[in-house]
Structure 1
C-alpha cells in the first residue's frame, strides 16, 4: 500500500514539475513578446520622429525656394508676374492702353483694374510718360469738369502747387467744354472735350 502511495506522489510531483516548466516557458514567451512589443513601439516612435524632422526640413526648403522664386519674380516683374502689361517706374506701375475711348470710360476702365488715370506731378514722371507715349494722345487724370478753368487732379493732388507741362497756349477751352486733359505732342498737355476718343494711361501702387 505504501508503495502505491509513493507511486502516486511521484506522479503528482512529476505533474507539478511539468506544469512549472510549462509555466516558466509561457512566462518567458510572454516576456519576450512584451519586450518585442516595447521595441516595436520604440522603433515606431523613433521612425515617426525622423519622418517628422525630414518633413519639417522639406517644408523649410520648399518655403525657402518659394521665397526665392517670389523674390526673383518681384525683381523681374515688380508690378506682378500676372500683370506683365504694366510698366514699373519710380515705385508705381503704369498701363498704357491699346484701345481708344472717352475720358470717362477711360477713368472707369482704370478703376476696374484697381488703378486710376495717371497723375503727372514731377518732371521725372513727365519724361517717362513722354518717352512712352511718343506723340500719341493719352488721357491723364486731370479735369476742370467741376468748374471751368479750375483744374483738378482726380486723386485730390493740389494742382496749383504741383508740376504742369501744358503745351504753349493751353489750356484754352477753344472748342468749348474742353474739360479733360491728355498728353499730346512731345508729351505736352492739351485740353479737349471729354468725349474725344484717345488712348489712356492708368497708374497704381506696386503690389505688396
Structure 2
C-alpha cells in the first residue's frame, strides 16, 4: 500500500469518526429536548390538576361565587348587564327618565320596571340627585295627596324624622292642589300639581 492510499484511508477514517461524533451529539441534543418537553408536559398536567382541585374546593366553600361572578359584565354594570341605563349609587340603582309625564304615570312607569319613584332620605343621596338632575324637574316619591300637609314617602319611610331639602318657601300648596314633589333648581324640592309633566327618577335595589 503506497503512501497516497494510506493517506486517503486515514482521511476516510477521520471523516467517519467525525460523522459519528456529530451523530452522537445530535442524538444527545434531541434526547435532551425530548426529556425537557416531557418534563414541561408533566409539570403542566400537575399544575392543571392542582388548579382544578383548588377550584373545586372554592366551589364547595362558596358555591354561589360561580353564579354571582360568572358574567364579567356584572362587575362593569352593578345594576345588571341588561340595565345599562340604570346608575348605581350607595347600594341602589337609579333610572333618570328621558321623557316627561305626570306623577301618576311616572309612578306606574317605575312599577313596570320593578322599581319605585326615588326616596331621598340622606344628604349623600341628595347630592347624587342634585348632580344628575342639573336644574331639570324630576319627580320623586313624595306626596301629600292623602292628607294636605302630611307629606309621605312612597315606600313608607317616615317623612318627619328624615332628611328634607325643600326650596325656601316650599311646600306652599299654591292654588290648593300641589300634592306631589319634584326636584328643581339646584336639586331643591318643590311641590306642584301631580298632573304636571316632568321627568322622573326610579329607584330599585341591585340584582343579587
Q: Distance in 2 between matches of 1:190 and 1:173?
A: 10
- Number of residue pairs matched? 149
Give deviations 1:122-174, integer Å, cap 9, x for gaps: 00000000000000000000000000000000100000000000000000001
Q: TM-score, normalised by structure 2?
A: 0.68
Q: Distance in 2 between matches of 1:79 and 1:110?
A: 15
Which has the higher Rg, Structure 1 or Structure 2?
1
Give the secondary structure class of the aligned counterpart of 2:174.
Answer: coil
- Output aligned runs, 1:120-199, within 5 Å: 120-199=120-199
Aligned to 2:107: 107
Give deviations 1:171-206, integer Å, cap 9, x for gaps: 000122100000000000000000000000000001
Cα distance, 1:67 vs. partner? 6.2
Q: Distance in 1 between matches of 2:109 and 2:66?
A: 36
Q: TM-score, normalised by structure 1?
A: 0.68
Closer/same/farther in 2, CA of residues 186 and 169 from structure 1, 3 Å limit? same
| Superposed CA RMSD | 2.0
Q: Distance in 1 between matches of 2:87 and 2:66?
A: 26
- Output aligned runs, 1:44-123, within 5 Å: 68-70=69-71, 72-123=72-123
Contact 1:175 1:192 in 2 (8 A): no
Give the secondary structure class of the aligned counterpart of 1:79.
Answer: coil
Provide structure 2 residue ranges, at least 5 long, that are not aligned to the other structure.
1-51, 60-64
Closer/same/farther in 2, CA of residues 100 and 66 from structure 1, 3 Å limit? same
Aligned to 2:43: none
Cα distance, 1:74 vs. partner? 2.2
Q: Distance in 1 between matches of 2:85 and 2:193?
A: 28
Closer/same/farther in 2, CA of residues 172 and 78 from structure 1, 3 Å limit? same
Closer/same/farther in 2, CA of residues 81 and 143 from structure 1, 3 Å limit? same
Give the secondary structure class of the aligned counterpart of 1:125.
Answer: helix
Q: Distance in 1 between matches of 2:149 and 2:68?
A: 51
Cα distance, 1:80 vs. partner? 0.1
Q: Distance in 1 between matches of 2:153 and 2:180?
A: 10
Q: Distance in 1 between matches of 2:70 and 2:96?
A: 27
Closer/same/farther in 2, CA of residues 157 and 65 from structure 1, 3 Å limit? closer
Contact 1:173 1:191 in 2 (8 A): yes
Cα distance, 1:66 vs. partner? 7.5
Provide structure 1 residue ranges, at least 5 long, that are not aligned to the other structure.
1-56
Q: Distance in 2 between matches of 1:94 and 1:141?
A: 13
